[in-house]
Amino acid sequence: MGKIRVLVVDDSVVVRRLLSDGIARDPALEVVGTASHGGIALKKLPALNPDVVTMDIEMPEMDGLTALAEIRKTDRKLPVVMVSSLTERGAVATLDALALGATDYVTKPSAVAGAAGQEAMLAELIAKLKAFGGRHLGTGNRFATPARAARPSSLASGGARRRIDVVAIGISTGGPNALAAMIPQIPAGFPVPIVIVQHMPPLFTKLLADRLAARAVIAVKEGAAGDRLQPGTAYIAPGNHHMLVRRVGPSATIVLEQGPPENSCRPAADVLFRSVADVYGAGVLAVVMTGMGQDGLAGSGIIRDRGGQVLVQDEESSVVWGMPGFVVEAGLADEVLSLEALAPAIVRRAAFGRASPPAALGGVGGRG
């Protein structure tokens, strides 16, 4: 198998060298070219024929968003990983890039992060280049995806087994677009709260929540310490904080903490899943969606042990079938569904044991 061919696009000579040298250290990757702005990158693409592109966002002459839009006019599949800054402006531009069809992103470390921050960013970037570039080569997404020989869950039934009182979602790579497709399908009057871990840095999660709120029928917000979970409201874990649910008197309440990362993630889906299993027991519906790694696997096992249910996004509709694939491989999925089928399944299961049918859920309250 040949090496994964990478084109690095950034206006900074220092950053181009940093990325190129870091990428070249991995034997599975090779940098086949660099470009100082999007216009040069577009001219080089036909000759270089890269398997994956890293694209800076802010560049002179042609910025990364414009270049990405031009690439997507002729090639919907070429993986493009945006390289953005950890600022509000960078976060807005990154979400814009994802909406335009960027495959994923990494964030540049702040100056105070030093060499350790640079190494962490390079490790994240290399993992993504190997995942996306390998799939583009047709070699499979082996870095991020478990073995395909998934054993079916013995409890897979296609329908609810008991009443649910909370929906907990774990999601990562490809998540913003997947949530933008799914959350607006949740109807008004949805009878239970929704808690979400999307792997993103601070600022990004707040902007994501605001964008989803503008499109959704239900309320969507970034979770805050002390929030009492309300039916028909989705809470997104803030970047760099684990989000947990605790029972405080009669209410289920959000707690934020900055304990050690789990699965190299903070927030981590496993932390959230454990907490909702403790509070709601068998009343949990977990949903594990597109993402690299295996965050959510251990938590899904705990939820199933407590009698809860687990839905999983299928491989075809996932940007990376890592997180959901590991849950399927472990036999923990009640249903494996396409992205477009997830919201109807969630609504159907939320209606189980309640008076209102799925199409008319208004006014029915959930526990907490």
Nearest one of 303, 54, 317 to 179, comparing CA atoms: 317
Residue 270 known to be catalytic: no
d(CA 56, CA 286): 35
Residue 295 known to be catalytic: yes
**Angle made by CA atoms 315, 245, 227, in degrees to the nearest 5:** 110
- Kind of pairing, strands 80-84 and 104-107? parallel
Instruction: Show the beta-strand stretches assigned E in 108-236.
Output: 166-171, 194-198, 219-222, 233-236
Catalytic site residue from 84, 153, 172, 275: 172
Catalytic site residue from 10, 26, 295, 314: 295
Catalytic site residue from 199, 242, 314, 334: 199
Token pair for 98: 């994802």
d(CA 326, CA 330): 6
Q: How many CA atoms lie within 13 A of 140 on its CB side?
A: 8
What does the radius of gyration of the chain's CA atoms come to, in whole angstroms?
Answer: 21
Active site residues: 172, 199, 295
